[in-house]
Amino acid sequence: MYCIGTLLTDSPSYGRQFVLRGRAVISRQQRQLLESVYARNPRPTTAELDRVAGQMIGVPRRVLRVWFQNKRARDRRRGRRSPSESSTGSTKSPVYNTQLSRFIVKLISQYM
């Protein structure tokens, strides 16, 4: 684990003061547990996060919440769907996109 600094205050009398926060290091076994939980549910509830935090001794719930947020963001960037999205369909409706396209074409044709 290593620390990163966060600026707390910048007062003229005390100068700059930093608060050091630890950066969590997740072991291979912990990551495998998180991956298996993510495969079942990419958006766990607070109770589920508490249960997982109980299995992973020393890892706060906030670290787990951020891990899940980062994992979902990585999957979106890579074009992967989470398991919940693949069963219910994409969050963007193709009908909406078609309607929007028609509206834009109609709008443009009015001004030409």
CATH of the domain at 54: 1.10.10.60
Domain count, the chain: 1
Residue 21 domain boundaries: 3-80
43 vs 72: CA distance, rounded Å: 9
23 vs 74: CA distance, rounded Å: 19
Residue 105 included in any domain: no
Is it the case that residue 96 has pLDDT exceeding 80? no
Instruction: Please check whether residue 59 is in contact with residue 24, taking contact to mean a CB–CB distance below 8 angstroms.
Output: yes
32-46, 53-67, 94-108 — which one is most confidently predicted on average? 32-46
What confidence category does residue 110 fall into, taking pLDDT thresholds of 50, 70 and 90? confident
Q: Which residue has the higher pLDDT, 52 or 85?
A: 52
Residue 94 included in any domain: no
With residues binned 3-state (H G I as helix, E B as strand, rest as coil), the percentages for the chain, rounded to 5, are 55, 15, 30
Region 81-103: mean pLDDT is: 58
This prediction's pTM? 0.55
DSSP 112: -
